[in-house]
Amino acid sequence: MRYRLKSITKTTEGENKFMAEHNLGDSHQVFDGEGKTFTINDKHVAIFNINGDLFAFEDACKHMGGSLGKGKLEGNLVACPNHGWQYDVTNGKCVTENECESGCRVDTFPVKTENNEIILSLPE
Ligand code: FES
């Protein structure tokens, strides 16, 4: 993994955050229809590939911290491998409404590919 450059990014909550871009290597390591977990500076991040589009969010279920990157993906939804809470990988929102509080979600992070490499932005 290579540290690249810094940028200012507006988060989904509308906040401006100082972000650092991280090159995670070959984009083909995240297969279409699957997820993978990466650890960057002790932060665990799940990245999913849906039809070639990448989505990144914190790899910790809001229930008891299960690894969402190891969950099964169906459409846009990933199920936590521990107890099955489901999250929309496109926005991090938990859709298991009878279990989690309304608005429960995991933090999402900007991710893209450049020259077939994964570029992930994380707040500093
Ligand atoms: S830890 Fe994810 S559903 Fe329980």
Domain ranges of the chain: 2-123
Instruction: Give the whole-angstrom CA distance, residue 104 versus residue 99.
Output: 10
Cα 86 to ligand 1 centroid, rounded to whole Å:
9
| Residue that wins the pLDDT comparison between 111 and 11 | 111
Which atom belonging to ligand 1 lies closest to the Cα atom of 85?
A: 3
Residue 122's Cα: distance from chain center in Å? 10
Nearest residue by C-alpha to atom 3 in ligand 1:
83
Give the pLDDT confidence of 25-35 residue by residue, as tens digits. 999 999 999 99
At 99, the pLDDT band (50, 70, 90 cuts) reads confident
Residue range 71-83, pLDDT digits in tens: 999 999 999 999 9
CATH of 2-123, one of 3.20.20.100, 3.40.50.720, 1.20.1290.10, 2.102.10.10: 2.102.10.10
The confidence score (pLDDT) of residue 4 equals 52
Global pTM reads 0.86
